[in-house]
Structure 1
């Protein structure tokens, strides 16, 4: 019974750990872009093997005007979730969904909304003390899978997944995640890898990269 009790507490700590991984990456991004941060940023991540600037631009649909996203649907992994807006905490780290709403994902509203030009970031937990969370199956996505985002303007932005990759938290691909690639893109982020009981965090991040293939019409699904 003692071992059984330790695991739920560990899972809760792991879910909280997502905030630290995303926050560290955001601080590194601020350093790369030359924007001031309220706290000293960590060492920027090692350069990616292929940077956003070097990667070939996929064939994309025209960018949409800004409009807040309302819902994310990813049929391949059974995700259908409302999207809460996320901004920054008081210490300037990026917010993550509260554990009380771990079955919902959130979008970083200080960046571009899904469908507009730029990299739209959507964050969700992988698990909690009570079991799997909204992005528990994110690592099962494959290139070619579709993610649909219903927007406040009635349009459904349809994205095709280009890759699903796992990164050590110390080598978070900050530039690939946050930098504008020149077209409408999406990044779905959660925790992954091995759970480190000592730190209470997972060792990695799982990130799905995708691009807009269809802007959709009003009421499109």
Structure 2
């Protein structure tokens, strides 16, 4: 009964997480459209809702962390090669946040629909791309190559973009909606990082430094993922304020 209960818990958490991520995608796609249309209050409401959903996802690790090494060993064969890599929705979430990685398409070679959705998402702008375009429309000096580029590739930080954000933060009263946009983005990134850290510590607690079910290095791989950032200048600008 113990093993059956653990299996059920893992299934429930996986299914619930996929539903929560689906809601996050819906809200972030709508928020991106609102930023494009310069309707920032609408975008803020959606981004705030995503932050609440992220809290639910973060909390889910508390249940999975009750699995002991002995429990995991007993249920390991039932997992097969299943992995978080198989979640198309999670990859779409990473893409709209700006973590573009064409290499992840290989994990979905057997699913044309999944590859099609991911390829389409790769070509679209991220939330941050549209935030920078908005800064440019408001008169800030954003480099042209940050406004029109190959969206399939990860964003590369720019000193000019950091300068623009510094101007926003230095005069928040004048640029209040842009300041709030920046803080909403930072909040999203903060919660993603907390989720990633919870993932790392839960896996470390259960399997130590064994390889992951999807063939990754496990904990060392997850540690590298934590170093990935979505909105770099919104973090580095804090050092110069």
TM-score, with length taken from structure 2: 0.25
Decide which structure has the larger Cα Rg and report it. 2
Give the alignment's TM-score, normalised by structure 1: 0.27
Structure having the higher strand fraction is 1
